[in-house]
Structure 1
């Protein structure tokens, strides 16, 4: 199992139910951003690429969850409620079978995606927080370049979950997709992100990024 499935050694607040990973609702802004940063700071681009697939699919999963919880009331019909549901489902797949290994990883990626979505919501209420998110997204963009090769080699996600990535043929396509679809619009002109863009992004996409009107209207918005 990849390294970041191990329990984090940092002391974190706990909820009434003890989980292997923290609920966003018990983390303040600093703790939440620091924790998200630890998930990706030392991992290879393939890890970020697999996470980006979860991020793209999270709105659809949340919509189904929200609708179901309005009826059942088992969890709050909110992104925080989804985090709790995901952690419980993740805990059900800690066996030694290949199926448990796959499901454990899948649900962890959805957990991380939900945390980042909550972080976006907090930043929209407190714009100073976009500074930290710019750094997190600069780490994730390495995964954007690795999307095509990662999707072709993984069995973690099914055909339905990777369908929206079907037009990505190479690394530059992956960067275009993530920057135009998944990257929050608030970061497109963020100084930290522009600095990273000049430093790390492929030249072909860097030129396109600077064009007015390059980004389509489809953007991953807050769904909490």
Structure 2
């Protein structure tokens, strides 16, 4: 994606979010995470934030999260910096993504899991690279929720993550099934960022993201089986 965006910068034009999602087979949650990591890599190497090139089809501007994450108030000026920088600069080596975070931008594959195929689903779910000490926790949570997201009921193993409940910390040894909840990858991100509240057993989204998740607002959160 980085090399592709560099070529976009050299053509001196922005690209729409929808176009990027379609080209790289991403959805909203994985797109946001991928763009965030790309932007952080630019900051680490003192480059213009290349994710400024990705804009909304209606406004022609970056999402408000761009300002919140990178502190850049003028995304148009940042795009001009990208155009100027990449017209005469070769790509630098970017910092390596820490192990356990690389999977946050993984592309999703189709598939199903049901009671008969739960063992296969576990194998697919566990194949996603994570911190070694988290493997037992992930498997326990996946089995506890029978391979389904507690909010969306998504049963695609590659799209799911075992999230620690608020107040639980894997560093403190909170790695039992009771310490976690199985969530679709984008919902896990929102939960960790405080944009999704599950405390009352009902999914409640922040107004900042509600327009993308209205179909899940008010859904009952599934309990472990």
TM bracket, shorter-chain basis: under 0.3
Say which structure is richer in helix.
1
Structure 2 length normalisation: TM-score? 0.26
Structure 1 length normalisation: TM-score? 0.26
Which of the pair has more CA radius of gyration?
Answer: 2
Between 1 and 2, higher relative CO (CA 8 Å, sep ≥ 6) is seen in: 1
